[in-house]
Homo-oligomer: A and B are copies of this chain.
Amino acid sequence: MTTTSDPTAPGPEAPGTDAPGTDAPGTAAPAVAEGTRWLTAEQQRWWRAYLLGTAALQDALNRQLDADADISLSEYEILVRLSEAPRRTVRMSELAASVMHSRSRLTHTVSRMERRGLVERRACEDDGRGINCTLTPAGFDLLDRTAPGHVGAVRTHLVDLLSDEDFRVLGRVMERIAEGPRED
């Protein structure tokens, strides 16, 4: 497998059995707390697949968007949320919540997007603290041009790899994860 360039057989000094990750440490491990509910070998496999899968998908989508429109997936998501809102306008804090960004992060991102002319900010009428973020025509055009390529990527890297049923399960599972444990 090309990996075993090390000829040292797993002899006495070779560890590897008692390494904690998310699995149980080998039999009588030292400093490890005892009450821990480690993952089974199978669960560990799924967990690792999760980490690699999400990383791969994120990567693929980001690259596609960056190449096609010089925007990131997060920026794309912001454009989408705005495009769907009543006057293509959403308050900063709502926008932040809807894409799961911190307010700080959204401020930075929106500032960059504003510099590019994709969105505009304007003070809220009814709430002196609020700021409304609006999608500009240029921003909408960009989204419009970018959407087909993006959907294509989502399909090839995700949807088309799965049966309808699997995708449905994935979706429901993700909804539960997004909600999180009882009151986050």
A103 contacts chain B at the CB level, 8 A cutoff:
no
Which residues of chain B come closer than 8 Å to A174, judged between CB atoms? 46, 49-50, 52-54
Which residues of chain B come closer than 8 Å to A12, judged between CB atoms? none
A22 contacts chain B at the CB level, 8 A cutoff:
yes
Assembly CA distance A130 to B155 (angstroms)? 38
Q: How many copies does the complex hold?
A: 2
Which residues of chain B come closer than 8 Å to A155, judged between CB atoms? 37, 39
Which residues of chain B come closer than 8 Å to A10, judged between CB atoms? 86
> Are A178 and B53 neighbours in the complex by a CB distance under 8 Å?
yes
A162 contacts chain B at the CB level, 8 A cutoff:
yes
Assembly CA distance A152 to B160 (angstroms)? 34
A148 contacts chain B at the CB level, 8 A cutoff:
yes
Known: A126-B5, A151-B22. A162 touches B181 (CB 8 A): no
15 A-B interface contacts by CB (under 8 A): A3-B94, A15-B83, A16-B83, A16-B86, A19-B88, A22-B154, A32-B144, A37-B152, A42-B171, A53-B175, A54-B177, A56-B100, A161-B177, A162-B176, A169-B170
* Contacts A21-B84, A42-B171, A52-B178 supplied; 13 other A-B pairs, CB < 8 Å: A4-B86, A19-B80, A22-B150, A25-B147, A30-B144, A35-B148, A37-B152, A53-B175, A53-B177, A54-B54, A56-B184, A59-B100, A160-B181
